[in-house]
């Protein structure tokens, strides 16, 4: 295993420290575990957003903590859900009288642990609700999931629900925005090189020199099928076809995310975007905003995913609202 790390067992702690030290005015790492909180929290009447999941998806989730997005991100070890206790610590650190929204990706461990933390919080009198993202159209069920997996489309929840909270929305309103994003976002990915979990020391799967995995999950878990590697355009078409078949985007404006898996150079993501824009245009789907880069990664996997969010006026406004986080900045209108 070739990685710039120190001890395998220190990866999560050191990386969380390293993130907090890069943005000392904005982020704070709690002493308890690998939890990053927004430093200059807003008033007590703002709904607090808490998200998280296993580590290995950087910049998700802690890179999206800050004004206009998350208030806290709770990370487990690599590809492992944080414990209910850790999630509860995150809730404690940022809770407000307006309540707390938990944004959870649909994996069995995450859903169970976030729901348990939610129960504990409510027992303590902290008004807490959750939403579950499940944007991945690749598979109906998977090795870690009942139902669809939550993948890069989750970032649009952080952005839009975070903006709604920042604008003074009630817990019910913020949750409704999060659910609206979930109802309107679809994603799918493919990979050509596997990722290596530090503690495992070797790639989680193997692909032949001419193979790619279509519909891959963000933990390197199997997708729809393997096939001979195709061109960037052909691969994008496979993903787009499945996404566009799932809900009707025709005549709508969309936000497009071309998300890198961690080891995919921007060169390739731009080439993919070039084609996706052409295809969407030819289908009469207007791209309102485009996001190209590493948002929800899989450590050092070489792959990408496409996410399409169907927009209405409310989501457009929330998408454009100011955000000031390490990994997502918007100037606002």
Taking CB under 8 A as the binding criterion, the range among 81-89, 174-182, 214-222, 271-279 that sits at the site for a second copy is: 271-279
Check if 252 is active-site.
Answer: no
- Contact string 148-187 vs a second copy (x = CB under 8 A): ----------------------------------------
Strand partners of residue 53:
75
Chain Cα centroid distance, residue 310: 17
Q: Which of 108, 170, 277, 317 binds a second copy (CB under 8 A)?
A: 277
- 51 in Cβ contact with 296 (< 8 Å): no
Strand partners of residue 193:
302
Nearer to a second copy, 3 or 283 (CB): 3
Q: Find the binding residues for a second copy in span 250-269 (CB under 8 A).
A: 258, 262-269
Q: Which of 167, 199, 247, 271 binds a second copy (CB under 8 A)?
A: 271
Return all residues near 6 (Cβ < 8 A) that are at least 6 apart: 14
Element (H, E) at 193: strand 185-193
Check if 225 is active-site.
Answer: no
What separation in angstroms does the CA of 26 have from each of 20, 98, 174? 8, 22, 23
Shortest distance, position 312 Cβ to a second copy, whole Å? 21
CA distance 220 to 215: 10
Catalytic option among 61, 130, 158, 219 = 219
Pairing between β-strand 48-55 and β-strand 100-105 as defined by DSSP bridges: parallel
- The Cβ of residue 14 has, within 10 Å, a number of other Cβ atoms equal to 13
* Residues contributing to the site for a second copy (CB under 8 A): 2-6, 11, 14-19, 21-23, 55-56, 58-59, 63, 192-193, 209, 212, 229, 231-233, 235, 258, 262-275, 277, 290-292, 294, 297, 299-300, 302, 304, 324, 326, 329, 331
């Amino acid at each position: 295993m070739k990685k710039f790390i120190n001890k395998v067992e220190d990866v999560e702690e050191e990386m969380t420290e390293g993130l907090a030290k890069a943005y000392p005015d904005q982020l704070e790492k709690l002493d308890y575990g690998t939890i990053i909180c927004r430093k200059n929290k807003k008033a007590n009447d703002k709904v607090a957003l808490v998200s998280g999941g296993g580590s290995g998806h950087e910049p998700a989730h802690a890179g999206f903590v800050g004004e206009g997005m998350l208030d806290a991100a709770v990370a487990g070890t690599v590809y492992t859900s944080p414990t209910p206790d850790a999630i509860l610590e995150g809730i404690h650190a940022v809770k407000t009288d307006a309540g707390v929204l938990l944004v959870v990706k649909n994996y069995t461990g995450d859903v169970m642990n976030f729901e348990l933390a939610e129960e504990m919080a409510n027992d303590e009198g902290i008004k807490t609700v959750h939403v579950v993202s499940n944007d991945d159209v690749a598979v109906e069920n998977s090795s870690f999931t009942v139902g669809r997996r939550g993948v890069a489309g989750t970032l649009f929840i952080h952005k839009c629900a975070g903006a709604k909270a920042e604008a003074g929305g009630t817990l019910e309103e913020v949750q409704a925005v999060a659910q609206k994003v979930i109802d309107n976002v679809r994603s799918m990915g493919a990979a050509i090189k596997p990722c290596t979990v530090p503690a495992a020391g070797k790639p989680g799967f193997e692909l032949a020199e001419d193979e790619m995995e279509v519909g891959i999950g963000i933990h390197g878990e199997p997708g729809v099928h393997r096939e001979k590697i195709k061109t960037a355009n052909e691969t994008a078409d496979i993903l787009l076809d499945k996404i566009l078949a799932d809900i009707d985007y025709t005549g709508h404006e969309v936000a497009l995310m071309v998300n890198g898996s961690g080891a995919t150079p921007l060169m390739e993501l731009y080439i993919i975007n070039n084609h996706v824009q052409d295809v969407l245009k030819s289908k009469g789907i207007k791209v309102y905003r485009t996001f190209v880069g590493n948002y929800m990664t899989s450590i050092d996997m070489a792959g990408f995913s496409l996410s399409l969010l169907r927009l209405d006026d409310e989501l457009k406004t929330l998408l454009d609202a100011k955000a000031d986080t390490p990994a997502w900045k918007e100037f606002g209108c």
